[in-house]
Structure 1
Amino acid sequence: MRRPDKIIADASKQNWVDLYAPVAIQPYLKLSRIDRPIGTWLLLFPGLWSIALAAPVGEIPDLQLFILFGIGALVMRGAGCTLNDIADRDFDGQVERTRKRPLPSGQVTLMQAYLWLALQCFVGLLILIQFNLFAIFLGAASLILVAIYPFAKRFTYWPQFFLGLAFNYGALLGWAAVTGNLGSAPIIMYVGGIAWTLGYDTIYAHQDKEDDVLIGIKSTALKFGQNTKIWLMGFYAITVLALLASGYIVGLTAPFYTFMAGAAVHLIWQIRSLDIDDGDLCLLLFKSNKFFGTLVLIGIIGGKFVVPF
């Protein structure tokens, strides 16, 4: 049953959770941000990129790994968001965009949120143990980053950096799940992914900057202010160069560079279009990163199939 008064500010008015999900489970799905799926895509893409990057020449990526990473991204993004809402429950009620979230609005209790967090982590563990031993240990180490991020905004103007460390860990884990080791290509991709997150989440953070000042939390949006576009040019340049380098290392061919050119144009469009004082536009540009991720993925897969220059 749809309840317009319960729809969270940055969720689509047509999101399926509010339209179709049983009322009893809607608060839990919203704790996991399933009504706002863009975050799941942004977490998933680096893993898919890396799986595709590690695939043998002339072969499509491992579809079973794609499915496992998809489920893992859904539940671990949900777990991270639940932990974030637990940590921010006192702040969220003071911010217009977040005051309808399940905890500050009283739709779930703190104990219920902790139980939901535990369930999601358990499902994530079931996914992780499907991988090789090296990937299991590597994936388990990411929990440290997941635990740090929700508290980073309290002590640094760079919480987006900590988000980047966590959200792009799939660039390492995807390669490890395919090969059982790490190499320079996934590490460079990881660096590029961190820069990508610094860019898109700075754009996202501009929606909340006035509230953040009032309640005393930090972000790159506040740190960069009117210089945001200059910083974005730097972050997105690192992103593109790092992805190009990782593709070059593994010998990707012409389609990769063609699609990367399109992806770079998309990032330029984001910077040129940005108005840091237009919250709706910031949200639109943030969500548009799904197209960037898709272009990169198609380029990597295509780059495994065509004869080199």
Structure 2
Amino acid sequence: MKLTNILNDIRVEHTIFSLPFLLASAFIASGGIPKIEKLILIVLALLFARAAAMSFNRFADANIDKFNPRTANRSIPKGLVRRNDMLLFVVFCSLIFVFISFLLGNLTFELSPVALFIIFFYSYTKRFTALSHIVLGIALSLAPGGAWIALRNDFGLVPFFMMLAVVFWLAGFDVLYSLQDLSYDIKQGLHSIPVVIGEKNSLYVARFFHTLTIIFLIPIGFLADISFVYYIGLGLFAGLLFYEHSLVKPNDLSKIDVAFFNVNAICSFIYALFVIVSVLIK
């Protein structure tokens, strides 16, 4: 029952936000279909790293979650899971992640502690900076960057631009999502972009972040030397982001869940699909 509650808390289904960009990076890095055994290890690394990050967030934020109506039903505030149990799960997932990183190569193994530090550090950022959205984006951007390094044992402009795009894609919709907690964050002295500049201006910042996302994705098509089909997918991706912002209006946050989960999940998978097709056509 404890494990079930922990898994419910960490929302495994939200892996769909990072998985598509990981797959896109893997196919470009391989110049075609990646070796299946490598791809399986990379996906497992993502799953365990994300599980470690989310469970650590629940551990670190237990006292904050307790008084927030949106998060009060999580396992630790409800007394379904002890904080020590959650921490034990964090350690387990972290060790598996490091082991998988070792299997993927020396460079991924050496960088695995850095990755863990970044994803754990995010959980404390709302306590002192409004740029927590950017830190969360950096944490998510490790997925395509890590996939590239695992497959090629190097780095380059393609993963660099993809990581930048993911940083601002995630930061953009996290700004929108954090609007739900605006009143609570102000009361608790927590930091976010909506706390600093208010609801209406935060919508403009989210749009700006997503504009940067598109700008950073544009060079990938010719840097990776893949089919022009890539840009059809990028156009669809941009259109869905535009639609996402049409759902959220000042003083009307009723569709934030649709914008946050449904639209972003769809647009990321569409992007990955067109990247994969473009690589295979080329």
Band the TM-score falls in, shorter-chain normalisation: over 0.9
TM-score by length of 1: 0.85
Any conservation in 1 of the 2:41–2:104 contact (CA below 8 Å)?
Answer: no
The CA deviation at 1:276 is 4.9
**Partner residue, 1:119:** 92
Any conservation in 1 of the 2:98–2:112 contact (CA below 8 Å)?
Answer: no
Q: Which runs of 5+ in 1 are unaligned?
A: 1-22
Query: Which of 212, 227, 230 in structure 1 is aligned with 2:201?
Result: 227
The percentage of aligned residue pairs carrying the same residue is 22
* Secondary structure at 2:70 match in 1: coil
* Secondary structure at 2:42 match in 1: helix
The CA deviation at 1:280 is 4.0
Distance change (3 Å), C-alpha of 1:24 and 1:153: closer
Any conservation in 1 of the 2:221–2:228 contact (CA below 8 Å)?
Answer: no
CA distance in 2, matches of 1:145, 1:122: 16
**Partner residue, 2:275:** 300
Comparing both structures, which one devotes a greater share of its residues to helix?
2
CA distance in 2, matches of 1:41, 1:223: 30
Amino acid of the structure 2 residue aligned with 1:125 = V
**Partner residue, 1:106:** 79
Cα-to-partner distance string for 1:45-102 (whole Å, 9 max, x where unaligned): 332221122122xx22343333223322222212111111111111101101100111
Where do 1:29-178 residues align within 5 Å? Answer: 29-34=7-12, 37-38=13-14, 40-56=15-31, 59-178=32-151
**Partner residue, 1:218:** 191
* Mean CA deviation greater in 189-198 or 122-131: 122-131
Any conservation in 2 of the 1:254–1:306 contact (CA below 8 Å)?
Answer: no
TM-score by length of 2: 0.93
Q: Which runs of 5+ in 2 are unaligned?
A: none
**Partner residue, 2:248:** 274
Q: Find out whether 1:208 has 2:152 as its counterpart.
A: no
Number of residue-to-residue matches in the alignment = 280
**Partner residue, 1:26:** 4
The CA deviation at 1:279 is 4.2
Amino acid of the structure 1 residue aligned with 2:8 = K
* Secondary structure at 2:77 match in 1: coil
* Secondary structure at 1:303 match in 2: helix
* Mean CA deviation greater in 286-295 or 129-138: 129-138
Distance change (3 Å), C-alpha of 1:127 and 1:163: same
